[in-house]
Each structure stands twice: as C-alpha cells, then as structure tokens.
Amino acid sequence: MNTVRMDAVIADPSLTTPSLVLDFDQISQTYDAFVDTFPGGHVFYAVKANANPQIIRLVVEKGGGLEIASLAELELSLAAGATGQQIICSNPIKNPTFIQRMHEAGVYAMVVDSTYEVDKVAHYAPGMRVYVRLAVDNQGSVLPLAGKFGVSGEEALDLFDQARAHGLDPIGLSFHVGSQCLNVQNWVNAIRACGDIWQQAAERGHDLYMLDIGGGFPAGHYHTATIPTLDAIGAAVMGAVQDYVPLSNPMLILEPGRGLVGESGCLIVSVVGKAKRGQDTWLYLDAGVFNGLMESFEGFPPVMRLLAADADLRSMTRCTLAGPSCDSCDVVARHIELPELHIGDRLVMLDAGAYTNEYAVAFNGFPIPEVVPVNVRAAVELLAG
C-alpha cells in the first residue's frame, strides 16, 4: 500500500479535491481494538459504512466477518474472499433474489422482523438460520434508526415460533442503538431486554445462542472528549452480557460501521465560490450534501479543520457552507464562525471514513471524492498542532 504522510498530501498542489483520504493501517488497528475490547466477540463489519474493496479485504484477511444489506454488498464480499459463513445480513427487508443468492452462497444467518419476512425467507432460503431484530431505545444517538425496524419482545417470541414452524432455525436476537450512539446505557438496556426475551424463548423450547448488538459505536473520541470510548462501551457491554444473558458463552456479534472506519478518513475539499448574502459569507465547496457530505443533511455537522495557512484566526466571520450543486438544500453548515477564507483554500472534514462516498452521487456532474490512501492519524496530529 502506498502510505504517505498527510502533510505531504496537503502540500501537494496536484491533489485534486474533493478527496477522501483513508488510512488503512488505522482501520486495521481499530479492528484489533474491537477484538481486544470485546473478548470472544465476533466483528462483522457493516459494509454499508464504506464498501471500499480494500477495507472489505482487510477485514476478511484479519478473520473478521461482514454484515451486508444488498446483493451488491454480497458480491463485493465474496469477491474480497469472504466465505458465506463469514457473512450475515441484518437488513430486515430483503428482496427474493438477494435471499436466494445468500442461501446459495451459504450465508451464515439473516435477520427477520415481520411475519412477511419470515414467510419470504422460509420460501427462498429453506432451513436458514434467522435472528430477530428487537426495537430498542435510540435516544442519545446522533442518528437514531428507531421506528423503521424492529419488534417488541412479544412479537419476537411469536416470530421465533413462526420461523420454527416454517422449518427455519431461530438462533438469536439483534438490535441497533442508533448510529453515533453517545449513551452507553442504551447498549446495557437493550442487552437486558434481550436477556428477558431469551429466557422466555427458552421456555417455549427455543435454543438461542447468538446475540448481535449491532453498530452505533461512535467516531471522534480522540479529538472530542465527550464521546464515549470503545473501552467504556466494551466494559458496559461485556458486563451486561454476563449479567443478563442466560447462557455462559453466547455467540456475541458486533456490527461496527462508523466505529471501525469513521476516524480513518478525512475529506479534503476546496472553496470554489464565495458570496455575501445577508449576515453571512457563503462559501461554496466542491463537495456537498450530494457528493460526500450527506450526513450534514441528516443533522450530523462535519468536524472541520482549516488548511489555510494564512487564515487570520483573530478575525472571525459568520459563514454558511454549501455544496457545489444547483439545489438549495445542498447546505452543509449554517451560521458558523470561520476566519476569512479565499477561493482555493482547503478544508479538512475529520471522521469522514464512514457514510461519505457510500452516500455520494455525482449529481449535476460533481464528482464523488477520489480515495487517497495515507496516514490519517498523522494528519490529525498535524492539524491539532
């Protein structure tokens, strides 16, 4: 891998923007940190966070698993060398072709959270291992996922019964506490709820063994002190598993997306236009809501650093940052204080390894950021200094 320091990249005038700078070494180290922090746990990387083939291959080579949501993610995973047994699907809504193909490929297990999905899986993937997604509290997560998916405990028990009656193999429970979860107690409460259901399922004759605690692991704790660390989450999760799950050695599954790759990426953008509108200076960037910064539209503002060496930090102005497209919703941040910036100045968006390129489309012909492999941790230190 061509790993060069970020400072060299920044100094390189030939670097085109927007570029998504990714540190594959850091992803590898973060993977190891997950394995160490959750002893006995199995990491199934949520490919949706960043389907870069090199990341998928890295996880597979380290012996990890993959959590997929679609046929395209399945094909990417198999192409990266994953066996079916290294793949699970936690997307509750799957089309028949996808289910069939997963069955053929020997995918380990898939989630269900409705009677219709149980029928579908039984029809297209007879005998498949299934787990049920529980609806859990998402309060305290920057990007809640609650409402669209998941069932109550009572419904989960009925789905286990239905699955067994249809010849499927019910093996456990899953949940998702919401992305960028800042409330460690959400995992504890969710695991406690799973423990109760587990007990009742045993009384109905189900032999569950898998607990999938989903994603939600936040990025950014190394430069923002209020974000819970992996160690804090790990201690709470491992304690809750021991206290509430009535099985001495459950198959514990983690599905980190952002938590595995978020901090390993920086998005470098340029100011391409400027206008004075009302109280604000509008700065137009070459990446916006459509081509990389979609999460800002979902209420997750980017964490920025300036790359303008001559910026006068003593004289701040109120700015609105917008993307390059012709759509008026293409606004990345409103009314923030920045020093005077000029056309051509560059900004770095930190923690951009997840949900940037994966969400991006070339609307209006503005390009999706090019991936550049470098040492991002060095970059962050450089920017902090």
Ligand X SMILES: Cc1ncc(COP(=O)(O)O)c(C=O)c1O
Closest contact distance (angstroms) between CB of 278 and ligand X is 36
18 prior amide bond cis, ω within 30: yes
* Number of CB atoms found within 10 A of residue 11's CB: 10
Query: Minimum CB separation from ligand X for residue 262, in Å?
Result: 8
265 binds ligand X (CB under 6 A): no
Listed ranges 98-106, 209-217, 242-250, 282-290: which one lies at the site for ligand X (CB under 6 A) = 209-217
Binding status of residue 215 toward ligand X by CB under 6 A: yes
Asked if 239 contacts 278 with a C-beta cutoff of 8 angstroms, the reply is: no
Find the binder of ligand X among 10, 49, 182, 307 (CB under 6 A): 49
Q: Does 353 bind ligand X (CB under 6 A)?
A: no
258 makes contact with ligand X (CB under 6 A): yes
Q: Is 319 a catalytic residue?
A: no
CB of 214 to ligand X, least distance (A): 5
DSSP states along 153-211: HHHHHHHHHHHHHTT-EEEEEE----EEE--THHHHHHHHHHHHHHHHHHHTT----EE
Q: Considering only the stretches 249-257, 275-283, 294-302, 376-384, report the one whose residues sit in contact with ligand X under the rule CB under 6 A.
A: 249-257
Segment contacting ligand X by CB under 6 A, of 43-51, 100-108, 274-282, 293-301: 43-51
> Does residue 135 interact with ligand X by CB under 6 A?
no
Q: Is 144 in the site for ligand X (CB under 6 A)?
A: no
The active-site residue out of 89, 319, 326, 329 is 326
67 makes contact with ligand X (CB under 6 A): yes
Q: Among residues 133 and 206, whose Cβ is nearest to ligand X? A: 133
Nearest residue to ligand X on Cβ basis: 215
Nearest to 347 by CA among 249, 268, 234: 268
Q: Give me the phi and psi of 170, to 5 degrees please.
A: -75, 125
- Look up residue 340 and give its two tokens: 């005077």
Can you tell me the distance from the alpha carbon of 63 to that of 23, in angstroms, rounded to the nearest whole number?
19
Residue of 133, 130, 123 whose CA lies nearest to 206: 130
Q: Is 243 helix (H, G, I), strand (E, B) or coil?
A: helix
Give dist(CA 159, CA 268) in Å, integer.
47
Among 30, 179, 356, 375, interactor with ligand X by CB under 6 A: 179
d(CA 151, CA 176): 12
Return the residues of window 74-103 that contact ligand X according to CB under 6 A: 90
Residues in touch with ligand X (CB under 6 A): 46, 48-49, 67, 90, 145, 176, 179, 214-217, 255-259, 354
Give the residue numbers marked as catalytic: 326
